[in-house]
Amino acid sequence: MASLLQKSLFLFLALCCLTQYTNAHPLKICKLDQIYQLGDSISDTGNFIRQIPIETASAFARLSYGETIFNNATGRCSNGLLIIDHIVKLETEHVANPSNRRNQHHTNKPLQNRANTHVLFRPQPRRKKNRRGQCIALPGDTQHPALFSIYATYSNPSHLLSSFQDQAMAAGLPFVRPYKNMDGHFKHGVNFAVAGSTALPSQVLASKHIFCPVTTTSLHVQLEWMFTHFNSICFDHTDCVDKLENALFMVGEIGGNDYNYAFFQGKTMEELKSMVPDVVESIMDAAKKVINLGAQRVVIPGNFPIGCRPIYQTVFQSNISEAYDENQCLNQFNEFAQYHNEQLQQAIFKLQQEKPNAIVVYGDYYNAYQFLLKFAYTSWACCGTGGKYNFDLKRMCGEDGDVPVCAEPNRYVSWDGVHLTQRGYKIMAAWLLHDIFPKLHCHF
């Protein structure tokens, strides 16, 4: 009897613990209460538009940027939230099975003319069936219930899973405030990212005859801002280590603009590949510096499949069918992005050996974006005009009051031909949390 009572008590306590974490956000489970972000426009929440003399002259400081959630431009290069915002504020939602999505993927008809179908974002874990034909998890599947509650499932193409309605997955953190916001409260971290920023200093790029048309605030400058911030809040190195015990550092995505500027200024693929070691070294140098400051958990994202962006598809458009993959992305540019990511991952592995006391994780933005494309209807930009992809370098989103905006941004991947919509970033954030969380080695 005593043994049975003990087993029952153990089972009850286990269920209580499981219930406690089922609705918790992965960052909360990891007890992470601060996020520090380095990067470019993928993660800038307002630094670029606060830089003199740019300020309100930037298109990012005006609507239609920010229209979906803020009804005001905040400096985010999207219609709403970015990946870093979704990481701290991710919520589940109603979704349905995107039936026959692949057959419709390459068409460029306006989305409002199509049936109202929601986007599904649920990676398919490995499964096998028991004798009753029921799917069961295999060893190696992500077991934590919080991760599975990020994604919705469906039983048939028209069925919506109501149990996930309005189920908040928030980490309990506020949006990570931009460093240049002098009224900002930085208790829960700081965002140092700047739109247009490069991994290499502008002087180094200039020596390669590459001009930085957007900003000269490189990763090096962001690190200087970071050091200034920590010097203001830490008494000494030991104090900083203690303060950063529960912090997550995002070193990137960065480096994409080094390549963007080079490509659009006419550099060859061979010249671009010769840049990769320097770009990767700069990123790894930044990662080492944040670890030396006291960072214990660091995520280093890779590059996107840049050949899928309307800006690339427009500028480097080809009449050769072999130039494109099944998603109508330009092969050579995606292959280049993969080359960069391979070099970056090799460097991360070396850093993991050098810094065994720090947890350094690769952020697989490439495959997160590829996953998103599986459920995309169109490669058009939502905010833009002209051409095959609704994108024109001479009339970009926000620069002209006459540049139209699509009626349903949530049904587009690309916001302005360069950056994603809020919905696109949300799907990527969910995929990334699912991929990164088990690698952070949280103990609960």
- Which pLDDT does position 271 carry in this prediction? 98
DSSP character at residue 240: H
Walk along the chain (444 residues) and give the pLDDT tens digit of each residue.
445 444 433 433 333 443 344 456 677 788 899 999 999 999 999 999 999 777 678 899 999 999 998 888 999 999 999 999 999 887 644 333 333 333 333 333 333 333 333 333 333 333 333 433 333 333 333 333 333 333 332 222 222 222 222 333 466 688 999 999 988 789 999 999 999 999 999 999 999 999 999 999 999 999 999 999 999 999 999 999 999 999 999 999 999 999 999 999 999 999 999 999 999 999 999 999 999 999 999 999 999 999 999 999 999 999 999 999 999 999 999 999 999 999 999 999 999 999 999 999 999 999 999 999 987 778 899 999 999 999 999 999 988 667 999 999 999 999 999 999 999 999 999 999 999 988 998 865
Query: What is the structure's pLDDT at 52?
Result: 79
Would residue 149 show up in a list of annotated catalytic residues for this protein? Answer: no
Q: Give the position of tokens 């247009």.
A: 196
Cα(347)–Cα(190) distance, integer angstroms: 26
* β-pairing verdict for 135-137 and 127-129: antiparallel
- Its pTM stands at 0.81
B/e letters for 101-112, b = 16+ CB within 10 Å, e = fewer, are eeebbeeeeebe
Task: Decide if 188 is catalytic.
Answer: no
pLDDT the model gives residue 170: 61
Catalytic residue, candidates 25, 41, 202, 258:
41
Contacts of 8 (CB under 8 A, 6+ apart): none
pLDDT of residue 325: 95
Of 421, 404, 403, 400, nearest to 412 (Cα)? 421
Which residue type occupies 400?
D
Helix H or strand E encompassing 136: strand 135-137
> What pLDDT sits at residue 55?
65
The active-site residue out of 105, 416, 434, 435 is 416
Buried residues in 423-444 as b, exposed as e (16+ CB within 10 A): bbbbbbbbbbbbbbbbebebee
From the list 424, 415, 428, the residue with the least C-alpha distance to 60 is 415
DSSP per-residue string spanning 313-354: HHHT--S-GGGB-TTS-BHHHHHHHHHHHHHHHHHHHHHHHH
Pairing, β 127-129 against β 34-38 = unpaired
Q: What pLDDT is recorded for position 23? A: 56
